[in-house]
Copies of this chain bind each other. A is one copy, B any other.
Amino acid sequence: MIEEKYRQLAEIALASVKGIQRTGVQVLELRDRYFKTLMPLKGNTNHVGIMYAGSLFTIGELTGGLLHLNSFDINKFFPIVKEINIRFVRPVLTDVTLEYELPGKEAERIQAEAETKGKADYDLDLEIKDAQDQVVALVHGLWQIRKFPEGMANPFQKS
- Whether the Cβ atoms of B57 and A44 lie closer than 8 Å is no
- Whether the Cβ atoms of A81 and B53 lie closer than 8 Å is yes
Interface residue? A155 (CB, 8 A)? yes
Q: How far is the CA of A57 from the CA of B155 in the complex (A)?
A: 24
Report chain B residues within 8 Å CB of A75: none
Q: How far is the CA of A56 from the CA of B17 in the complex (A)?
A: 13
Interface residue? A82 (CB, 8 A)? yes
Interface residue? A47 (CB, 8 A)? yes
- Whether the Cβ atoms of A19 and B13 lie closer than 8 Å is no
Report chain B residues within 8 Å CB of A82: 87-88
- Whether the Cβ atoms of B85 and A47 lie closer than 8 Å is no
Q: A53-B84, A54-B57 are in contact. Are A18 and B47 (CB under 8 A)?
A: no
Interface residue? A46 (CB, 8 A)? yes
Report chain B residues within 8 Å CB of A84: 53, 57, 85-86
- Whether the Cβ atoms of B54 and A58 lie closer than 8 Å is yes
Which A residues, 7 to 36, have Cβ-Cβ distances below 8 Å to chain B?
12-13, 16-20, 22-23
Interface residue? A83 (CB, 8 A)? yes
Report chain B residues within 8 Å CB of A71: none
Interface residue? A118 (CB, 8 A)? no
- Whether the Cβ atoms of A52 and B88 lie closer than 8 Å is no
Known pairs A18-B45, A19-B52. 12 more at Cβ < 8 A?
Answer: A17-B47, A19-B22, A19-B23, A19-B44, A19-B46, A22-B22, A53-B61, A53-B84, A57-B57, A57-B84, A80-B88, A81-B88
